[in-house]
Amino acid sequence: MPETSHSRARGNLLGQLPKRVDVYEVGPRDGLQNELRTLPTRDKARLINALVEAGEKRIEVTSFVSPKWIPQLADAEELLRLVGRREGVVFSALVPNLKGLERAKEAGLEEAAVFISASEAHSKKNINKSIAEAMAGAREVTTAALQAGMRVRGYLSTVWGCPYEGHVPVERVVDICRHLVDAGIYQLSLGDTIGVGTPRQTEEILDALLKHIPVEKLALHLHDTRGTALANSLVGLSAGVTTFDASIGGLGGCPYAPGAAGNLATEDAVFMFHGMGVETGINLDRLVEAGEIAQELIGRKLAGKFLQAALGEREKKASRRAQT
Amino acid sequence: MPETSHSRARGNLLGQLPKRVDVYEVGPRDGLQNELRTLPTRDKARLINALVEAGEKRIEVTSFVSPKWIPQLADAEELLRLVGRREGVVFSALVPNLKGLERAKEAGLEEAAVFISASEAHSKKNINKSIAEAMAGAREVTTAALQAGMRVRGYLSTVWGCPYEGHVPVERVVDICRHLVDAGIYQLSLGDTIGVGTPRQTEEILDALLKHIPVEKLALHLHDTRGTALANSLVGLSAGVTTFDASIGGLGGCPYAPGAAGNLATEDAVFMFHGMGVETGINLDRLVEAGEIAQELIGRKLAGKFLQAALGEREKKASRRAQT
């Protein structure tokens, strides 16, 4: 049969998707550090336990940053002690410098994350370093962390756009990524820090990167500020990306990027993946329970749509039972 | 160069997208009929005017349904009089039966919309008719509306799933669509009434329909209840669909479907389309102004993410100005 104008749509659009993906949970760190309310350590541990109960296997729990910078995360050591070790689960933490790494080693951290902005202006405002300085610092931390037996992950922020510079050239992103891979980083998490990305741009960014970096090394860290996180995830999934950062209930944003709000909600991502036959190993009902705990602890409704739909449905059922 | 495992991702995923799409605005009808607060007619007209000012060209403004069923829309005639005619803009209304059509004719309506559920149980609960009865009724209204010189659009609800039946067979959807096209309907709007759709399913539904119906006749009416409306839109766009129903700020849902909330927000759709180089003719800043009016009139924050991000940014700028 000859190709028709519709034949591309029929089955070729999404193509073969990965059978399974990992969700990398960033709620306890990226999420909570952006909340006004600082939680007691035992409450953070309670949330993390709920995420583990839901089947999450990769959870960034805190940051070994100076408490002067982010007082919300000053209890990193205590929190790691409290959550302990869980079979098959890797707890990671952000490690901004060698001082932080010493603390992380003492605390027995298994996986460290380093952080670089792809925008010169954002890097200056965020960590008061040029990109070159940040790259040197990340290499230093990575080398030391690898020597200490840790696995190291790299965050690359403002890849889709910067609140100060606007457009960020993809060539710069490629350069930084190659540098980080050379340094020994096992995975690069590409961040749409202010949530301005759209699917064609996501395709272009992945297109440029996949010429130099194997897809297994890439993760997407998408913000849902303008509602496009799942559409962008779909492009990543189609390109073979198998790790997606997400935050329970959509907790958190970026404190240094004006207007930034809303990590992709873990439940929304898991709902979409499961609906497409892409396994995550996560139990969606249990995830809703964890989202409910997150709401209770921070004292406000979260933006995650699946969470609100699930809680709304439960309320309706309860009110129908009460009426009969 | 031989094909590599990454070559599919490089440029073939999204392929050629339509250069321009239509947004079919359903906020004033689908949105407002689901709000608890009934607006005065002049407020509805104010909202519709703001949508026209933003560049919207296809707006469903009301329904000629019995006021006993939906008292919020009892002012259909007065509203059409108040909004008048606008150059290049088509105002449409839902017309459930011949009695409604008589009123629509009197009011000088240009475009009528008929409504059929793809789920037997939903059809019974929603309009107290079987699908067969609803199809007969839709044909009757369509024939009479065409004779009266109107254009007729058809809504097909619960295509992605039903709150009572669960799975809805796509063959049934195809049958109903063919019936409606035979009856003379110019466009079919496929509804994910309860917002349970995921992209693979969207691809399958379009795949099945496009074997029988030209893509120009299809529109997508997606709900964002679980956050997947834009990801599903992206699949539609890739398949060549060029009309997307959306509601200003995400106003409304489906009153008969438990747990349903949240039409796709017009601004979220327009932001994604423009970001991909797909024109809509709509001014996004003006759309935010219309969203603000919608919030003011109904007295609560709407769920649209772009809207909230834009309003949040403006507040931040204002507070920085106040500080300096």
Per-residue pLDDT at B31:
86
Copy the structure tokens of residue A11. Answer: 């089955």
Per-residue pLDDT at B12:
55
Please, are residues A119 and A162 in contact by the beta-carbon 8 Å criterion?
Answer: yes
pLDDT in tens, B221-239: 999 999 999 999 999 999 9
Confidence of residue A322 (pLDDT cuts 50, 70, 90): confident
Please, are residues A25 and A58 in contact by the beta-carbon 8 Å criterion?
Answer: yes
Cβ separation B259–A316 shorter than 8 A: yes
A67-76, A170-179, B96-105, B276-285: segment of lowest average pLDDT:
A67-76
Per-residue pLDDT at B303:
86
Confidence of residue A253 (pLDDT cuts 50, 70, 90): low
Per-residue pLDDT at B180:
96
Per-residue pLDDT at A30:
86
Percent of chain B with pLDDT over 70: 93
Q: Which domain holds residue A108?
A: 22-319
Catalytic residue among B65, B135, B254, B264: B254
pLDDT in tens, A309-321: 999 888 878 877 7
**C-alpha distances out from residue A297 to A284, B20, B234, Å:** 20, 45, 36
Report yes or no on A13 lying in a domain: no
Q: How confident is the prediction for chain B on average, in pLDDT?
A: 91
Q: How much is the CA Rg of chain A, to the nearest whole Å?
A: 20
Confidence of residue B324 (pLDDT cuts 50, 70, 90): low
Q: Nearest residue on chain A to B14, judged by CA atoms?
A: A13
Nearest Cα to Cα of residue B273 among B236, B218, B313, B226: B236
The ipTM (two decimal places) reads 0.92
Report yes or no on A11 lying in a domain: no
What CATH number does residue B180 fall under?
A: 3.20.20.70
Per-residue pLDDT at B261:
56
Confidence of residue B320 (pLDDT cuts 50, 70, 90): confident
Higher pLDDT, A8 or A133: A133
Per-residue pLDDT at A54:
98
Tally of structural domains, chain A: 1
Which residue type, as a one-letter code, is found at position B215?
V
Report yes or no on A256 lying in a domain: yes
Cβ separation B231–A227 shorter than 8 A: no
Per-residue pLDDT at A150:
98
Q: Is A224 on the interface with B (CB under 8 A)?
A: yes
> Which residue shows structure tokens 């329909």?
B209
Higher pLDDT, A253 or B231: B231
pLDDT at B135 over 80: yes
- In this complex, which of B14, B271, B309 lies closest to A259 when CB atoms are compared? B309
Please, is B312 exposed, middle or buried when counting C-beta atoms within 10 Å of its C-beta (0-12, 13-18, 19+)? Answer: middle
DSSP state at residue B31: I
Pairing of the two strands A111-117 and B90-94: unpaired
Which residue type, as a one-letter code, is found at position A17?
L
Per-residue pLDDT at A10:
38
Confidence of residue A13 (pLDDT cuts 50, 70, 90): low
Mean pLDDT computed over B40-44:
96
Question: φ, ψ for residue A219 (rounded to 5)?
Answer: -130, 155
Mean pLDDT computed over A16-35:
92
Q: Is the dihedral of CA B22, B27, B33, B34 positive or negative?
A: positive
Annotated catalytic, B254?
yes
- How many A×B Cβ pairs under 8 Å? 174
- In this complex, which of B9, B238, B262 lies closest to A210 when CB atoms are compared? B9
The Cβ-side half-sphere exposure at A119, using a 13 Å CA radius, reads: 23
Higher pLDDT, A11 or B23: B23
Pairing of the two strands A243-246 and A218-222: parallel
Report yes or no on A10 lying in a domain: no
Confidence of residue A109 (pLDDT cuts 50, 70, 90): very high
d(CA B149, CA A207): 50
Nearest Cα to Cα of residue B194 among B228, B171, B240, B218: B228
Report yes or no on B141 lying in a domain: yes
Residues on chain A touching B312 (C-beta within 8 angstroms): 259, 261
Residue positions of A annotated with a catalytic role: 254
Instruction: Go through chain B and tell me how many residues it has.
Output: 324
Report yes or no on B231 lying in a domain: yes
pLDDT at B207 over 70: yes
Please, are residues B216 and B188 in contact by the beta-carbon 8 Å criterion?
Answer: no
pLDDT at A258 over 60: no
Mean pLDDT computed over B79-98:
96
Per-window interface: B 234-293 vs A, CB < 8 A: 234-235, 238-240, 258-259, 261-262, 265, 268, 271-272, 275-277
Report yes or no on B72 lying in a domain: yes
Per-residue pLDDT at B71:
86
**How near does any CA of chain B get to the CA of A13, in Å?**
6
Cβ separation A240–B13 shorter than 8 A: no
Report yes or no on B139 lying in a domain: yes
Per-residue pLDDT at A138:
97
